[in-house]
A = this chain, B = another copy of it.
């Protein structure tokens, strides 16, 4: 007989889909499992939610432990909860997946929890085989990130401040894997209310005319939305 009262042994974890932009490609943080099932395989960083923690707190803590980065400065949102029976062979486990986006994040530091973590291009991660149902979680995270660029301002979360409009455009081009017209992109971004704020400063690229630098504006929604061809 099934248990109806929630007293059956269950575990609750958070798993993180952490994206960053490195060397013109979208990268994902993966860890190599050091114990338990799927030992030695690649997996999303994550862990058990503690007794006294909120879900978001748990995600922020794992983010810090795995990347060494102060997660409070990253974009972090809940993705979806996965709980299909058998997804963890040990015990019924529900995992609350989070999506984190950040500018070119540092390499994991040796000698910490993050020692077994590394960045991998998302295209590779999609096909290399991940532990548990993490491939499905990654798929969903990628889909969410792509969709959110359209109608929100999260693209700026991938940029280190201050940034140029070319860098911001580059985010769209990499995540969507297409080219955008620089002229039309500029017009759209500058017309949108409070997407970016000009600093009046300029930065010279390796070659070509210096570009003006911007910071993130307060707007979270982008209207009208950016459209994918």
* A residues neighboring B (CB under 8 Å): 2-13, 47-55, 78, 80-85, 91-94, 96, 151, 225
Contact = CB atoms under 8 A, between A and B. Distances in A.
A55 B83 contact: yes
Contacts of A11: 5-7, 10
| Most central of A2, A48, A81 by chain B CB within 10 Å | A81
A7 B6 contact: no
Contact of A6 (B3, B80, B93, B96): B93
Given A4-B48, A49-B83, A85-B53, A12 B12 contact: yes
18 contacts: A2-B51, A3-B50, A4-B47, A6-B10, A6-B13, A6-B93, A7-B9, A8-B51, A12-B83, A51-B85, A51-B92, A54-B85, A55-B94, A78-B81, A81-B96, A94-B94, A94-B96, A225-B225
A85 B225 CA distance: 37
Interface of A is mostly: loop
Contact of A52 (B9, B50, B85): B85
B2 A50 contact: yes
A6 B51 contact: no
A12 B10 CA distance: 8
Contact of A80 (B53, B78, B85): B78
Contacts of A94: 12, 55, 94, 96
Contacts of A83: 12, 49, 54-55, 96
A85 B58 CA distance: 12
Nearest to A228: B223
Contacts of A48: 3-6
A94 B225 CA distance: 34
A7 B13 CA distance: 11
Contacts of A85: 51-54
Nearest to A48: B6
Given A83-B55, A84-B54, A92-B51, A6 B2 contact: no
